[in-house]
């Protein structure tokens, strides 16, 4: 590689996150420039954040030099993808590995977006303050500078798993359910924040027992006008009585009060009415971005949907994937049905892969998402909302006050999964894991170092940092308590997914 290397900043679509990230991305860019210089390579910067798709098209499209995206915060996939698709110049996504500044989250999402459109790229990351002092990082960067690629081992990846007769029988019965009546996803808007890797569309969904119906998020506002005050009163009384701890009016959240929660419940009731009207099996909810100045965040509503204990419940969850992510709603609905078939509780959690670290000899991932984690994770009691805390979502990003649906996830064995597009086909990653209860001091250090207002799950996913960072095709994961690993592999195969096993199982 003899050309100069172009460094660019993929950005969020909102000015505030980019503004907050500026000191970190400037520091990371200086580190990358130093690392390249140490390897004898010259670089230059593409000016400013790429904060709109047209920025990527106009600024990256004309560049034929090798490209490095510097990743230190959350950013939108199209703000890279749209400028590099159809080209073959070497492309590297380079991330810090930080919970506070989750460049790794943006890297995983954008890497998956690039895979969706068939654009080759490589990935690299470091948690070192001085990037040149990380020998592994420098070796990988040198390999990319020399060849345009970085190769990672696949020792923890396989494509087959033994399946017991009992698991196969349960999977066969659940597959029959999908064949008898295709599962309908009610899509409230499109995928959020340009997450093109999370949208499959009817062409692919219909091959695997699913379909979709899109409902504009504006319907939430319209339907909310007709929600009777008595329903709102009853819903608010229900969540109070069932044990939610509301952090109303705390310092920094003075505008978060009972009326804000009441408005979140208005949206919840509007959505369950829509789900009943369309007989939807599960939901993809765009999250708040489109309604940001108009409605409170949907976290509290989404957490309730993923709980059996909820206002006007029929005794079941309605699997809800935040950000309208079909890559999670598919495994959530599949896992839910398998859990019920095995006699286990049906709640399935939606999480971000936010960060991770070594603890007592094994690598634990911090799974932490603002939206769709249900109450069962925090109490293992399907009949209460004990353990749920509702904090005000950050006013820096959410001008209309509203609360989260947070708590500390209890320990236990889990099955996890994720669907994604690769080579124009749908794949399903499946793995086993364990949620771990951390010592209080460690838990608070990790939680405070990420986002304390969001639900927390410290999890051994059965794979280390490098396997996930190098090969995983999302920043999202669906997690269910209980061992339905073999069942999920078998069901995925029966429904026509290509299956990849991550871990030693």
pLDDT one-digit tens code per residue, 11-20: 999 999 999 9
Measured CA to CA, the distance from residue 50 to residue 492 in angstroms comes to 37
How much is the pLDDT for 1? 65
Sign of the CA dihedral with 109 first, then 110, 114, and 117 last = positive
Q: Are 427 and 418 in contact (CB under 8 A)?
A: no
Label the pairing between strands 282-285 and 425-435.
Answer: unpaired
For position 371, what pLDDT does the model report? Answer: 77
Q: How confident is the model over 266-282, as a mean pLDDT?
A: 98
Name the one residue in this structure whose structure tokens are 């064949």: 179
Mean pLDDT of the chain: 96
Domain ranges of the chain: 5-147, 165-502
Tell me how far apart the alpha carbons of residues 428 and 420 are, in angstroms, rounded to a whole number. 7
Q: Is the pLDDT of residue 505 over 90?
A: no
Which residue bears the tokens 């009585």? Answer: 241
Q: Which of 48, 44, 57 is nearest to 7 (CA)?
A: 44
Mean pLDDT of 404-418: 98
pLDDT digits (tens, 9 = 90+) for 366-386: 999 887 899 999 999 999 999
**What residues contact 129, with CB distance under 8 A and at least 6 apart?**
none
Query: What pLDDT is recorded for position 290?
Result: 82
What's this model's pTM, rounded to 2 decimal places?
0.97
What are the structure tokens assigned to 439, written together? 């010592």
Whether the predicted pLDDT of 3 surpasses 70: yes
What is the rounded CA–CA span in Å between residue 184 and residue 205? 10
Instruction: Give rounded-to-5 percent helix, strand, coil for the chain.
Output: 40, 25, 40
Does residue 401 register a pLDDT over 90? yes
The pLDDT of 129-144, averaged and rounded, is 97
Q: Angle between the 485-494 and 165-180 helix axes, to the nearest 10 degrees?
A: 40
Strand pairing report for 282-285 and 412-422 = unpaired
Instruction: Give the tokens for residue 78.
Output: 């199209």
Q: Decide: 200 and 428 in contact? Cβ < 8 Å.
A: no
Q: Tell me the percentage of the chain whose pLDDT exceeds 90.
A: 93
For residue 151, how many other CB atoms are within 10 A of its CB?
A: 10
CATH class as words, domain 165-502: alpha beta
Instruction: Specify the DSSP element, H or E, that contains 470.
Output: helix 465-471
pLDDT tens per residue across span 96-110:
999 888 899 999 999
- % the chain with pLDDT above 70: 99
Identify the band that residue 194 occupies on the pLDDT scale cut at 50, 70 and 90. confident
Q: What is the pLDDT of residue 30?
A: 98
Contact of 186 with 283, CB cutoff 8 Å: yes
CATH 3.40.30.10 for domain 5-147: no
Q: Give residue-wise pLDDT tens across range 4-47.
A: 999 999 999 999 999 999 999 999 999 999 999 999 999 999 99
pLDDT tens-digit series, residues 458-500: 999 999 899 999 999 999 999 999 999 999 999 999 999 999 9
Task: Kindly indicate the confidence band of residue 504, based on its pLDDT and cuts at 50, 70 and 90.
Answer: low
User: How far is residue 122's CA from residue 91's CA, in Å, rounded to a whole number?
Assistant: 6
Is a pLDDT exceeding 60 seen at residue 340?
yes
């Amino acid at each position: 590689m003899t050309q100069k290397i172009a460094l660019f900043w993929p950005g969020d679509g909102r000015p505030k996150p980019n503004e907050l990230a500026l000191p970190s991305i400037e520091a990371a860019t200086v580190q990358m420039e130093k690392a390249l210089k140490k390897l004898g390579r010259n670089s230059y910067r593409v000016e400013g954040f790429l904060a709109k798709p047209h920025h990527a098209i106009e600024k990256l499209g004309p560049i034929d030099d090798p490209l490095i995206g510097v990743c230190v915060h959350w950013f939108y996939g199209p703000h890279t993808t749209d400028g590099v698709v159809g080209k073959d110049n070497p492309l590297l996504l380079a991330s810090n590995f930080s919970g506070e500044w989750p460049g790794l989250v943006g890297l995983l999402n954008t890497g998956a977006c690039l895979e969706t459109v068939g654009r080759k790229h490589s990935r690299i990351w470091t948690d070192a303050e001085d990037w040149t002092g990380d020998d592994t990082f420098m070796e990988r960067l040198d390999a990319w500078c020399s060849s345009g690629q970085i190769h990672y081992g696949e020792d923890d990846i396989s494509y087959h798993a033994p399946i017991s007769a009992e698991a196969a029988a349960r999977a066969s019965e659940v597959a029959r359910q999908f064949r008898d009546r295709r599962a309908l996803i009610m899509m409230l808007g499109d995928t959020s924040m340009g997450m093109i890797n999370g949208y499959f569309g009817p062409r692919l969904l219909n091959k695997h027992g699913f379909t979709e119906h899109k409902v504009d998020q504006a319907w939430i506002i319209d339907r909310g006008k007709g929600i009777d005050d008595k329903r709102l009163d009853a819903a608010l009384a229900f969540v109070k009585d069932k044990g939610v701890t509301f952090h109303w009016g705390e310092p920094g959240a003075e505008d978060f009060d009972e009326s804000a929660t009441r408005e979140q419940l208005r949206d919840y009731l509007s959505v369950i009415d829509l789900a009943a009207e369309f007989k939807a099996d599960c939901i993809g909810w765009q999250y708040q971005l489109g309604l940001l100045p108009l409605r409170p965040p949907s976290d509290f509503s989404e957490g309730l949907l993923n709980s059996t204990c909820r206002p006007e419940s029929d005794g079941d969850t309605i699997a809800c994937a935040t950000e309208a992510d079909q890559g999670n709603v598919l495994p959530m609905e599949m896992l839910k049905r398998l859990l019920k078939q095995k006699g286990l509780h049906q709640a399935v959690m939606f999480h971000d892969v936010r960060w991770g670290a070594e603890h007592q000899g094994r690598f634990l991932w911090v799974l932490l998402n603002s939206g769709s984690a249900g109450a069962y994770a925090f109490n293992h009691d399907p009949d209460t909302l004990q353990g749920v805390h509702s904090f005000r979502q950050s006013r820096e990003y959410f001008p209309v006050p509203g609360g989260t649906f947070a708590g500390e996830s209890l320990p236990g064995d889990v099955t996890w999964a994720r669907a994604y597009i690769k080579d124009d086909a749908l794949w399903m990653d499946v793995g086993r894991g364990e949620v771990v209860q951390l010592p209080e001091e460690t838990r608070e250090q990790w939680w405070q170092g990420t986002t304390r207002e969001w639900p927390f799950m410290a999890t051994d996913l059965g794979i280390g940092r490098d396997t996930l960072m190098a090969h995983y095709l999302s920043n999202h994961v669906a997690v269910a308590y209980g061992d339905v690993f073999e069942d999920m592999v078998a069901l995925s195969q029966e429904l026509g997914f290509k299956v990849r096993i991550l871990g030693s199982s």
